[in-house]
């Protein structure tokens, strides 16, 4: 990468409806709660206070990232910044776990296997059946995609592998061109990108958490190496119990 000193902000979307019931959301298109919208607005205010402005926002095709972008940009006073969306920034697909809460998952598959699936790097959860209505081939959002690209389940490694072409082919060239980027995505997708940027091992990655609604700023040198990163702490209402 040949660029002048550059930066990029990563942000996990705000609190969603299924967070209230501790359900695995994955590719399910669930909206934000009022708390999630407030988190996004607080992030926008914090970014503006710190002097950040954006040329582009990149997010997943799921509405919770779009809602986060809209609330954040409105709070910054820059609602017209273009938003580009891609399935490659979608959350990890949780397979048969998608839509279930942790209690029911523990009962069905046991706690040890369940925690290995959702925290580990290599092993995916049990896949969705081809005819399961939760399979993304039935979702109009992906009607134009080759069904061979649609996952029935993903490990964190799988999620990272489909994310990285977007990093290399889309985001890096924009950084080279001096574009100021905000990437709004999901917890596991951003964990995969952080793993790549910080050169973390799989074992170290399992301990990484990405807080919702808190901007993570990366700075790069002229060769594209990470110079450093920082979290911009925000004030927003806590999620309902």
Residues marked as catalytic: 13, 91
C-beta of residue 145 within 8 angstroms of C-beta of residue 87: yes
d(CA 236, CA 221): 32
**Cα angle 26-30-31, degrees, rounded to a multiple of 5:** 140
In this structure, is the dihedral angle defined by the CA atoms of residues 174, 176, 177 and 179, taken in order, positive or negative? positive
C-beta separation of 137 from 149 below 8 A: no
DSSP-assigned letter for residue 89: G
**135 closest CA partner among 145, 125, 147:** 147
Pairing relation of β-strands 83-85 and 56-59?
parallel
d(CA 16, CA 184) in angstroms, rounded, equals 14
Instruction: For the sheet with 216-220, list strands across it.
Output: 83-85, 56-59, 181-185, 6-12, 216-220, 226-231
Strand ranges (DSSP E) for 32-176? 56-59, 83-85
CA distance 20 to 37: 14
């Amino acid at each position: 990468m040949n660029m002048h000193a550059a930066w990029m902000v990563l942000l996990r979307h705000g609190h969603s409806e299924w967070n209230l019931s501790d359900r695995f959301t994955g590719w399910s298109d669930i909206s934000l709660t009022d708390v999630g919208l407030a988190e996004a607005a607080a992030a926008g205010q914090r970014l503006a206070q710190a002097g950040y402005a954006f040329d582009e926002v990149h997010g997943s095709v799921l509405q919770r990232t779009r809602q986060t972008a809209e609330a954040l940009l409105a709070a910054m006073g820059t609602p017209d910044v273009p938003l580009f969306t891609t399935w490659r920034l979608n959350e990890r697909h949780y397979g048969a776990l998608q839509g279930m809460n942790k209690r029911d998952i523990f009962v069905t598959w046991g706690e040890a296997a369940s925690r290995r699936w959702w925290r580990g790097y290599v092993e995916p959860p049990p896949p969705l059946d081809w005819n399961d209505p939760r399979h993304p081939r039935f979702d109009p959002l992906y009607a134009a995609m080759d069904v061979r690209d649609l996952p029935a389940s993903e490990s964190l490694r799988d999620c990272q592998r489909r994310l990285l072409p977007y990093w290399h082919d889309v985001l890096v060239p924009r950084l080279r061109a001096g574009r100021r980027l905000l990437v709004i995505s999901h917890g596991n997708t951003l964990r995969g990108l952080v793993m790549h940027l910080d050169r973390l091992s799989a074992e170290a990655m399992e301990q990484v958490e990405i807080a919702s609604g808190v901007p993570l700023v990366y700075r790069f040198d002229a060769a594209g190496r990470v110079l450093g990163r920082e979290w911009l702490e925000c004030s927003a209402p806590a999620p309902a119990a």
